Amino acid sequence: MLAALLYGQEDLRLETVEDPTPEAGEVVVRVGVATTCGTDLKVWRRGGHARMLKPPTLFGHEAAGEIVAIGQDITTWKVGDRVVANNSAPCLSCFFCKKEEYSLCQNLLFNNGTFAEYLRIPAPIVQHNLLPLPDGLPYALASMTEPLACVLHGVARSNVKPGDRVVVLGDGAIGLMFVAALASGQGEWHSSQVPKGEQPFSQVFLFGGSEQRLQLGEKLGAAKTFHYRQIEDVPALVRELTDGWGADVVIEATGIPSAWELAIACARPGATVNLFGGCPRETSITVNTERLHYSELTLKGVFHNTPTYVRAALNLLASRALPFELLISQQQPLTELGQVFEAMKQRQVVKVAIVP
């Protein structure tokens, strides 16, 4: 089969490799669509990832397709089933899993290789994070289950309350998904919890560097959008937007250390700052200890997803309640993957649906 392999920093090669065959407990999926991701772009540019992969390796982690082969001991799946597989599965038996902190699993198994004609799904993922696709859900939308699951996990960890004013830093696919989820109230509260007279959903302010993406943010529910390069003092503007206080919640979705510091500066006393974007290894930030202490800030690093949010993400995509199809800039064949990553590097596209 034709597959993409990552060999190092911006070294992505299309090669012919053997078709995968399933071992006991595994299935093989014919990839219908694999979507590109900001994490893929970071990994491609940096040449690796601390947790997910080590080159040389098959590349890509978002896909949906059809089962074409099953291994021994598979009784709940059959050839022809339309499915989406999360790119990981927790072990359910380690210290963290026993505390239901599944994204911290000591044995978290990652699976890569969606930019290919076929994808082998390891047994733990088949057992815990392989899901059937609802009728009528296109592969391109279903393939976004994994990043949306990460976002829903991030929303749940952000202490968002009814009517909160939320700042999202970053207009990539993840930042835009945060906008949609927060502006629509996904994962925040039930209507019965909203005090009388209060605004039911968050008011989201999106800061980014692309006018096209900021327009997408407005379509996805952002109350206001701002091009950060046109603003002299972002924290001061946030205070103007929030009666002088700062944001109730700040979501950092760029993975740039300076943006982590900016996120903290945009927060009001008592705020939660979700440091969601993964920064390069061995980087650090500076935090004003007096402000952190006396303003009672909550700084959170939030990583990956859990089986609960994988299912919630697929259900949300299947509901068509939010127009996530807007995030797919174009469709391209697998043979154009190198050009697609160059376009992503130049921020010409958000997500691209790759068809083998």
Say which CATH topology domain 2-146+304-355 has. Answer: Quinone Oxidoreductase; Chain A, domain 1 (3.90.180)
Looking at per-residue pLDDT, the higher value among 239 and 54 belongs to 239
The structure's pTM equals: 0.94
Spatial CA neighbour of 341 closest among 17, 59, 1: 59
Average pLDDT over residues 199-211: 87
Question: In degrees to the nearest 10, what's the CA dihedral of 168, 169, 173, 178?
Answer: -20
Confidence at residue 255, expressed as pLDDT on a 0 to 100 scale: 94
The answer to whether residues 170 and 253 touch, using CB atoms and an 8 Å cutoff, is yes
Confidence at residue 201, expressed as pLDDT on a 0 to 100 scale: 72
Confidence at residue 187, expressed as pLDDT on a 0 to 100 scale: 56
Q: Which residues of 315-334 are buried (b: 16+ CB within 10 A; e: fewer)?
A: ebbbeeebebebbbbeebeb
Confidence at residue 329, expressed as pLDDT on a 0 to 100 scale: 96
Q: How far is CA 57 from the centre of its chain?
A: 21
**Residue ranges per domain, the chain?**
2-146+304-355, 158-301
The answer to whether residues 36 and 173 touch, using CB atoms and an 8 Å cutoff, is no
Instruction: List, for residues 29-83, the tens digit of each pLDDT value.
Output: 999 999 999 999 989 998 877 678 888 999 999 999 999 999 999 999 999 999 9
d(CA 144, CA 303): 17
Least confident of 138-152, 160-174, 192-206, 257-271: 192-206
d(CA 3, CA 16): 6
Average pLDDT over residues 193-222: 83
Strand partners for 206? 168, 225
Residue 190 pLDDT exceeds 60: no
Confidence at residue 192, expressed as pLDDT on a 0 to 100 scale: 42
Give me the chain's average pLDDT, please: 94
Residue 89 pLDDT exceeds 50: yes
Confidence at residue 245, expressed as pLDDT on a 0 to 100 scale: 98
Average pLDDT over residues 180-209: 71
Q: Which residues of 276-294 are buried (b: 16+ CB within 10 A; e: fewer)?
A: bbbbeeeeeeeeeeeeeee
CATH 3.40.50.720 applies to domain 158-301 = yes
Confidence at residue 162, expressed as pLDDT on a 0 to 100 scale: 86
Confidence at residue 49, expressed as pLDDT on a 0 to 100 scale: 78
Spatial CA neighbour of 321 closest among 187, 159, 169, 162: 187
d(CA 262, CA 252): 9
CA angle, 331 then 337 then 340, to 5°: 65
Instruction: List, for residues 219-238, the tens digit of each pLDDT value.
Output: 999 999 999 999 999 999 99
Confidence at residue 194, expressed as pLDDT on a 0 to 100 scale: 43
d(CA 191, CA 324): 23
Spatial CA neighbour of 322 closest among 216, 251, 224, 170: 216
